[in-house]
Amino acid sequence: MADHPTRPTIKTLSEMTGFSIATISKALNDSPVVTQATKAAIRQAAGQIGYAASLRGMSLRTGRTYQVAVLMPVASASGFEWDGVDYAQILSGIAAGLEGSPYRMSVHVVRDAAEGLATARQVVEGHLADGLIFSGIQAQDPRVEYLCAVGFPFVTLGRCRGDLTYAHVDVDSDWAAWAATARLIAGGHRRIALINPDPRLSYALDRIDGFTRAFAQVGLPVPQDLILGGDLSTRFGKEAAMSLSRLPDPATGFVCVNESTALGALAGLRDLGFDIGRAASVIAYDDINASAYFAPPLTTFYLPIEDLGRQLGGFLLRRLAGEDPATLQQLTRPDLVARQSDRLERVSPWEGNT
Amino acid sequence: MADHPTRPTIKTLSEMTGFSIATISKALNDSPVVTQATKAAIRQAAGQIGYAASLRGMSLRTGRTYQVAVLMPVASASGFEWDGVDYAQILSGIAAGLEGSPYRMSVHVVRDAAEGLATARQVVEGHLADGLIFSGIQAQDPRVEYLCAVGFPFVTLGRCRGDLTYAHVDVDSDWAAWAATARLIAGGHRRIALINPDPRLSYALDRIDGFTRAFAQVGLPVPQDLILGGDLSTRFGKEAAMSLSRLPDPATGFVCVNESTALGALAGLRDLGFDIGRAASVIAYDDINASAYFAPPLTTFYLPIEDLGRQLGGFLLRRLAGEDPATLQQLTRPDLVARQSDRLERVSPWEGNT
DNA sequence: TTCCCTCTTGAAATCGTTTTTATCCGCCGC
DNA sequence: GCGGCGGATAAAAACGATTTCAAGAGGGAA
């Protein structure tokens, strides 16, 4: 393809300056064995012709690829359903975190954890990247175990359970579920549903922990029958809300895992003729900021998803620079955004219904 | 890093089989100069030790990178707003379209068209990828012009206006806007709003064309004052709907560019106290299938966004194989999904209000 | 028998770097 | 005056593939 005739190489610089390619290389890498005068001359020449090292050449020689691989999960999608996850924001954040470094981002689509492990293997064994970033961490995650075992640098969005030490960024789901549940309990709700993701996911367990703790704290029994796990689709949220509202002793409050399921829950309750806001309260993680426009607007926990991505990128760079993974761990507590009343207005034990 | 001691190279195979590395290379590339017997022996050995060619080595020698770069647009995001675009689905589609080829996908985040051009330049001049995929095409798109000029292979999601020949996949926005508008006109609406994206975008113009044609066809004046361009955020949809509903002669129908703006329009109308479904009708592009859960559920044009991605990937592969871009052009007409009534019930000229 | 041609394989150059090792030169110490 | 040393640069060997060109074997024709 039409390049500028041929782009300059280290050899071009060698001919320009009269120094050997070895010296050029060392100068550009700021090696201490080269004199300042030589470095200056070489850099000047490099700047003049706009030299940029060929990643291919560097890559072959050093074994590094200057690539960071991201495993992007997509719902297995038999008939696409919105899952409310704006992965583009995460990617954007990661890219921002990588900015200024020579690392670029390659994205590998994975449909489930098994495929994720296979892809991680490919990346490691095929030297397709120098580091890995992924999410959707399971309580016991084969990818984390594998990568720890082979010593390949990676950062995860989420933590698995177990005592492995690795770099990660996570949201305090335990706390968020606790806070949401406690809020609804304080509002008079007793039959509170936990609309949860796939129970194999680590943060699904965190949420159950927080949910449970909120009840235990005030000495109330945990409504085990109202904990439902599924995917993140709107459809699941709707089905879950409908089935839990049809129980003899129905749920009045819903702690949803994200906005997509919350939207589904709203739709389900509406379909059953409930007056949301009076009959039920819905609380969600807020990662795309759409719940403000729902009817009614939802109380959410705001998740700065792009910032998390930025952290992931930054952590990976530091990990690649050799930093100890134990120092690269961060837990973010999301901010509560109160929008809709969380009071139970229908059957509150301590206040009349208004 | 702990690789399997060292991964096998062409040299390993050479020692195993006794053939020279030249013969090995030719055999694996199915060159006709090698005998079938030799090929079989070499392939057998390669399979046995699980040999896979090093992309780095290939890359350096051939100049190809076996990478496809995708320019992913992200909203400049001063205070993140949902834009209703599930770019993850597009990426997933592209990856699916690339499957089976040695090409992998790298993602470059771009904030606007100018940055897009700069990134395209980097990719081309730095040989960072063999082909490019991007979207958000403007009526006059500097990226398209540049890439055509330098002859770099690319495929776009969307078409620019002009007579350049290049590979692309697009949605028939003209038709969709026409169909949506005609539907509302048939339902009795006369004051129909067009909630449009950034007017520099090529498909914004297509939508205006279709919108205009629908009015012209039945001899009605085009409500120019109801055409509003903005970003794809829910906030813009809400603001647009509110301002257009407060006019002396307010809009009763809304042709929204996507689900995010449509959600905003619904929220805006609700805030103003309108009974949506009676007072107004909203129609949207449907690319994430969430509108089924809105209140009321919206009539939409279903857009198989992942399929479009798959086409993009497939087209780029064919383009890289040397196919003529003129044969790599596709226009998809989205399917109408009728959900909510598009009849005007408040002030219909030919039927009473119920 | 000799020569040439074809068919298969091998040797070597190449892509653009980095890194190890060698060379050159001046200077210090003895 | 000479050996050695250190400082600056050059030469050469990788990294792992592809590709050009040479070489060797075998066969057919004169």
Question: Hey, which residues does B86 pair with through a beta bridge?
Answer: none
Mean pLDDT along residues A150-162: 96
To 10 degrees, the CA torsion angle through B176, B181, B184, B185? Answer: -140
**C-alpha to C-alpha distance for A214 and A352, rounded to whole angstroms:** 24
- Categorize the per-residue pLDDT at A313 as very low, low, confident or very high, splitting at 50, 70 and 90: very high
Q: Which residues touch strand D (CB under 7 A)?
A: A 18-23, 26, 33-35, 37-38, 60-61; B 6-7, 9-11, 21-22, 24-26, 28-29, 53-54, 56-58, 60-62
Indicate whether A309 pLDDT > 80.
Answer: yes
Q: How far is B209 from chain A (nearest CA, A)?
A: 30
Q: Are strands A299-302 and A335-337 parallel, antiparallel or unpaired?
A: antiparallel
- State the residue for tokens 């940029």: A52
CB B197 within 8 A of CB B231: yes
Is the CB of A234 less than 8 angstroms away from the CB of B56? no
- Categorize the per-residue pLDDT at B179 as very low, low, confident or very high, splitting at 50, 70 and 90: very high
From A113-122, B41-50, B287-296, the region with the lowest mean pLDDT: B287-296
Mean pLDDT along residues A324-351: 76
| pLDDT given at position B279 | 67
- Categorize the per-residue pLDDT at B77 as very low, low, confident or very high, splitting at 50, 70 and 90: low
- Determine what percent of chain A is predicted with pLDDT higher than 70: 93
Indicate whether A240 pLDDT > 60.
Answer: yes
Indicate whether A21 pLDDT > 70.
Answer: yes
CB B70 within 8 A of CB B108: yes
At B162, list the tokens.
Answer: 């002009």
| pLDDT given at position B344 | 64
- State the residue for tokens 């004046």: B221
| pLDDT given at position A353 | 36
DSSP string, A58-116: HHHHHS---EEEEEEE----SS-------HHHHHHHHHHHHTTSS-EEEEEEESSHHHH
Spell out the alpha helix ranges (H) of B81-223: 87-98, 113-125, 142-150, 173-186, 202-217
Question: Hey, which residues does A227 pair with through a beta bridge?
Answer: A194
CB A127 within 8 A of CB A344: no
Indicate whether B347 pLDDT > 50.
Answer: no
Torsion sign, CA atoms B61, B63, B68, B72: positive
Residue B122, chain A, CB below 8 Å: the answer is no
Burial tier of A48 (Cβ tally within 10 Å: 0-12, 13-18, 19+): exposed
Residue B74, chain A, CB below 8 Å: the answer is yes
| pLDDT given at position A2 | 39
Residue B321 CA and nucleotide C10 C1' are separated, in Å, by: 31
**C-alpha to C-alpha distance for A169 and A310, rounded to whole angstroms:** 10
Residue B263, chain A, CB below 8 Å: the answer is yes
**C-alpha to C-alpha distance for A176 and A335, rounded to whole angstroms:** 9
CB B128 within 8 A of CB B101: no
| pLDDT given at position A348 | 37
| pLDDT given at position B206 | 97
What integer best gives the mean pLDDT of chain B? 90
- State the residue for tokens 């199915």: B30
**Residue of chain A whose Cα is closest to the Cα of B60:** A56
pLDDT digits (tens, 9 = 90+) for A191-207: 999 999 999 999 999 99
| pLDDT given at position A354 | 36
| pLDDT given at position B13 | 94
Indicate whether A75 pLDDT > 90.
Answer: no
**C-alpha to C-alpha distance for A269 and A285, rounded to whole angstroms:** 19
Q: Which nt sits closest to A19, CA to C1'?
A: D9
| pLDDT given at position B76 | 64
Q: Is the peptide bond before B296 cis (omega within 30 degrees of 0)?
A: yes
| pLDDT given at position A61 | 94
- State the residue for tokens 């520099």: B200
User: pTM surpassing 0.95?
Assistant: no
Indicate whether A93 pLDDT > 80.
Answer: yes
CB B169 within 8 A of CB B155: yes
Cα B209 to Cα A332, B21, B173, B212, distances in angstroms:
48, 61, 9, 5
Mean pLDDT along residues A276-296: 80
At A40, list the tokens.
Answer: 């200056």
pLDDT digits (tens, 9 = 90+) for A216-239: 999 999 999 999 999 999 999 999
pLDDT digits (tens, 9 = 90+) for A253-270: 999 999 999 999 999 999
Q: Which run of H or E residues covers position A281?
A: strand A281-286
Is the CB of A92 less than 8 angstroms away from the CB of B109? yes
- Categorize the per-residue pLDDT at B128 as very low, low, confident or very high, splitting at 50, 70 and 90: very high
Nearest by CB to B289, which of A81, A87, A152? A81
CB A143 within 8 A of CB A120: yes
Burial tier of A29 (Cβ tally within 10 Å: 0-12, 13-18, 19+): exposed
- Portion 162-221 of B in contact with A at CB < 8 A: none
What single letter denotes the amino acid at residue B17? T
pLDDT digits (tens, 9 = 90+) for A29-69: 999 999 999 999 999 999 999 999 999 999 999 999 999 99
Q: Considering only residues 235-294 of protein chain B, which place a Cβ less than 7 A from any atom of strand C? A: none
pLDDT digits (tens, 9 = 90+) for B189-235: 999 999 999 999 999 999 999 999 999 999 999 999 999 999 999 99
Q: Is A245 helix (H, G, I), strand (E, B) or coil?
A: helix
**C-alpha to C-alpha distance for B194 and B209, rounded to whole angstroms:** 11
| pLDDT given at position B283 | 81
- Categorize the per-residue pLDDT at A288 as very low, low, confident or very high, splitting at 50, 70 and 90: confident
Residues with Cβ within 8 Å of residue B312, at least 6 apart in sequence: B90, B93, B94, B97, B133, B155, B157, B169
At A296, list the tokens.
Answer: 């009614």
Residue B125, chain A, CB below 8 Å: the answer is yes
User: What's the distance, CA A70 to chain centroid?
Assistant: 11
Question: Hey, which residues does A223 pair with through a beta bridge?
Answer: none
Residue B33 CA and nucleotide D27 C1' are separated, in Å, by: 19
| pLDDT given at position A236 | 95
Q: Which of B4, B7, B82, B128 to substitute to test the interface with A, most A CBs within 10 Å?
A: B82
Mean pLDDT along residues B20-46: 94
pLDDT digits (tens, 9 = 90+) for B233-267: 999 999 999 999 999 999 999 999 999 999 999 99
| pLDDT given at position A289 | 82
Indicate whether B273 pLDDT > 60.
Answer: yes
**C-alpha to C-alpha distance for A199 and A205, rounded to whole angstroms:** 7
